[in-house]
């Protein structure tokens, strides 16, 4: 169990400026925000050394409430914003908070290429299966046959597996967590931030207003209980037969490898070009002297 005091969260919130928050009562976004703050506190990162970037959506309101360097950017565009920050200030711990629609639909192309580049940013994708803030539309992770405002009879589109997509695109750290398993989620976020390269953490979250009500999933407690009862760790999943395993949410670090980080490769290229130019200039000066 974490040895960080519970009230550590208060030290990182803009309590006097931005509250009360806009999230619905019972929303799991506040739970995930708590896990993120505890992870940052456990790593003892200074507020000025953290940049939190988001796009548009319910989860993307998080930067508004925390006392870090923050950017509430455009819909689907938090990853290029974060890439720019990291490129200009490599010493910053750059974290993206985004949703399933923001990251894999409107921002899908940016998501793929961030994984491919392996730039050192951490991307937290809160997956609640729907566009919660903008009207309850279907997203790329909305389950088959689910009801949304854009699929009132049933969703017939196959879903993205965000973690498999991230691995296939080249991310070097890929994990899945849930809003229910708060301490586990804190540890996974902490490990993701510490990893050198693109880190993807899919966090299964809940939307009892837009998704739960339309699909008769019950209230906030019922939906959190579903995450508890229908998810297993990687070790537990290995003991299940394939049919049962396919029905479970698998939690934990699914993929991790060490590859050259983008900023470091860019700096190496710059150093090579500078050295080459210096050599060229030196050769020209020697020819002039002759």
CB half-sphere exposure, 65, CA atoms < 13 A: 20
Question: Rounded distance, CA 187 to CA 59, Å?
Answer: 20
Q: Which residues contact 54 (CB under 8 A, 6 or more apart)?
A: 60, 61, 62, 63, 71, 72, 73, 78, 96, 97, 98
Structure tokens at 191: 């490990």
Phi-psi region of 118 (alpha: psi -120 to 50; beta: other; left: phi over 0): left
Residue 134 pLDDT: 84
Specify the 3-state DSSP secondary structure of 191: helix
pLDDT at position 198 is 97
Return the pLDDT at 241. 94
d(CA 50, CA 44): 11
Read off the pTM.
Answer: 0.92
Per-residue model confidence (pLDDT) at position 1? 45
Mean pLDDT, 10 residues at a time, the chain of 290 residues: 64 82 93 96 96 94 94 94 95 97 94 96 97 90 95 94 96 98 97 98 96 94 97 96 94 97 93 89 77
CA distances from residue 205 to 59, 160, 265 in whole angstroms, order as listed:
10, 16, 35
User: 151: buried, middle or exposed (CB in 10 Å: 19+, 13-18, 0-12)?
Assistant: middle
User: Which two structure tokens, joined as six digits, stand for 179?
Assistant: 């809003």
CA distance to 99, 103, 126, 127, per residue, from 157 (Å): 18, 17, 20, 17
Compute how many other C-beta atoms are within 10 angstroms of the C-beta atom of residue 265. Answer: 14
Q: What is the DSSP string of 82-142?
A: HHHHHHH-TTSEEEEEEEHHIIIIITHHHHHHHHHHT-SEEEEEEE-SEETTTTSEE-TTP
Residues whose CB is less than 8 angstroms from the CB of residue 96 and which lie 6 or more positions away in sequence, other chains included = 52, 53, 54, 78, 79, 82, 121, 122, 123, 124
Q: What does the CA dihedral 38, 42, 43, 45 come to, rounded to 10 degrees?
A: 60
Q: What is the pLDDT of residue 4?
A: 53
């Amino acid at each position: 169990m974490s040895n960080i005091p519970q009230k550590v969260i208060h030290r990182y919130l803009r309590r006097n400026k931005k509250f009360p928050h806009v999230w619905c009562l019972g929303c799991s976004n506040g739970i995930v925000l708590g896990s993120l703050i505890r992870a940052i506190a456990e790593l003892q990162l200074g507020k000025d050394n953290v940049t939190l970037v988001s796009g548009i959506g319910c989860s993307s309101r998080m930067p508004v409430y925390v006392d870090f360097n923050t950017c509430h950017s455009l819909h689907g565009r938090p990853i290029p914003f974060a890439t720019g920050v990291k490129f200009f200030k490599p010493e910053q711990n750059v974290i993206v908070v985004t949703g399933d629609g923001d990251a894999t639909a409107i921002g899908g192309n940016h998501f793929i290429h961030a994984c491919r580049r392996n730039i050192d940013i951490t991307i937290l994708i809160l997956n609640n299966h729907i566009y919660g803030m903008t009207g309850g539309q279907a997203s790329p992770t909305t389950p088959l046959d689910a009801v949304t405002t854009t699929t009132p009879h049933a969703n017939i589109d196959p879903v993205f597996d965000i973690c498999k997509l991230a691995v296939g695109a080249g991310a070097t750290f890929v994990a899945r967590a849930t809003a229910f398993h708060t301490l586990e989620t804190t540890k996974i976020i902490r490990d993701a931030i510490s990893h050198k390269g693109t880190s993807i953490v899919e966090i299964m979250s809940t939307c009892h207003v837009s998704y739960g009500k339309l699909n008769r999933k019950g209230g906030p407690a019922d939906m959190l209980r579903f995450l508890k009862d229908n998810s297993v760790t990687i070790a537990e999943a290995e003991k299940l037969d394939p049919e049962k395993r396919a029905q479970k949410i698998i939690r934990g670090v699914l993929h991790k490898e060490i590859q050259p980080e983008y900023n470091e490769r860019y700096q190496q290229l710059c150093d090579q070009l500078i050295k080459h130019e210096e050599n060229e200039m030196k050769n020209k000066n020697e020819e002039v002297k002759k």
